[in-house]
Amino acid sequence: MTPLSILDLVRVTEATDAGEVLRNARDVAVHAEGWGYNRIWVAEHHNMIGVASAATAVVIAHIAGGTQRIRVGAGGIMLPNHAPYIIAEQFGTLERLFPGRIDLGLGRAPGTDQITLRALRRIPEASDQFPQDVLELQAFLAPAGPDQRIVAVPAAGTNVPLWILGSSHFGAMLAAELGLPYAFASHFAPDQLLSALELYRSRFKPSEQLSRPYAMVGVNVIAADTDQEARRLATTQQMSFTDLSAGRRGLSRPPIDDIETYWSGPQKAQAQRMLARSIVGAPGAVREGLQALVAETGADELMIVSDIFNHPARLRSLELIAQAGGVSAISN
């Protein structure tokens, strides 16, 4: 049985505000814990009116405070936006508050545009230091030495588990070199999925954190009681990817009956390429899709993105996915 986890996009919709979707994210985690999901992550994005998780560590504390067992973390923190010392302080604090439940996934992209990057007081070249920043962060989370003059308090000694996130060979090679778990973002960039996983596994070097490769695969899954309803719910995400390719940053839109009325030919091609790994359908189709993906990739874990406009429909989707994946434990 492959563990299932959730990436919550904390999407602001045309029918909600940021406060409501943050409360919804916590509600998702409460239900997910009962359904047997392994972890729930949120991601850092800036200057996007449709995403409410910019203050990622704060959102993680909000979610973890409403749950008891499920792991909660960042999928991820865009490390070039921050001093590693500050991230160590933040996530070390989270680990002290919620011991044994915090994950820290790290990305190299800025998670925003160049103008916003300047507002963050960072330079585009900061991403070049990503490998060194990961090592510095890891050192601050390790136990402090007797003569260490700069200590990340209260983070030192927490050893918060790090993950490398990626959608290319760069992240795969870095995760392998450092002996860290690797999460591939095939929910929006599936092109190099198989080659990146092969590279990661073939080059993996054991570390204190991890003795063998551990790969998690991100995948969009929309489940409903019928195939037709699932396909309709999926139009929300299809419209979001269409807007993304057109340079529009908007709120999440309600589903429509015919997606062909929304996108142009080139937009459709681009969205379908980015969503190529999506699994959409009733429970039987979802079960087959999850099994096929695990068989093809050898994934140790799947990170589910179920981007649905309506909160109750999203909860139903995640419940059906848990049942299809064989992880459902408790009915909330």
Q: Is residue 321 part of a domain?
A: yes
In a domain, 106, yes or no: yes
**What is the pLDDT, as a whole number, of residue 332?**
28
pLDDT given at position 165: 98
Q: Tell me the whole-structure pTM to 2 decimals.
A: 0.95
pLDDT tens for 140-156 read 999 999 999 999 999 99
- For residues 51 and 116, membership in a common domain is answered with yes
Same domain, 118 and 243: no
Q: Is residue 210 a contact partner of residue 181, using CB atoms and an 8 Å limit?
A: yes
Are residue 18 and residue 152 in the same domain, yes or no? yes
Position 296 in a domain: yes
Residue 284 has pLDDT above 90, yes or no: yes
Query: Per the domain annotation, does 242 fall within a domain?
Result: yes
Q: Record the tokens describing residue 195, joined without a space.
A: 């080659």
Q: How far apart are CA 168 and CA 185, in angstroms?
A: 9
Based on the fold, state whether residues 233 and 326 are members of the same structural domain.
yes
Can you give the residue range of the structural domain that contains 60? 1-160
Evaluated on CA atoms 144, 81, 214, 98, the torsion sign reads: positive
pLDDT at residue 260 greater than cutoff 50: yes
Average pLDDT estimate for 59-71: 98
Q: What pLDDT, on a 0 to 100 scale, did the predictor assign at position 330?
A: 34
What mean pLDDT is predicted for residues 215-225?
A: 98
Q: How many domains does the chain fold into?
A: 2
Q: Is 310 exposed, middle or buried (0-12, 13-18, 19+ CB in 10 A)?
A: middle
Q: Name the percent of the chain lying above pLDDT 90.
A: 89
Q: Residue 38 above 80 pLDDT?
A: yes
85-132, pLDDT tens digit by residue? 999 999 999 999 999 999 999 999 866 777 887 788 777 677 789 999
pLDDT score, position 1? 85
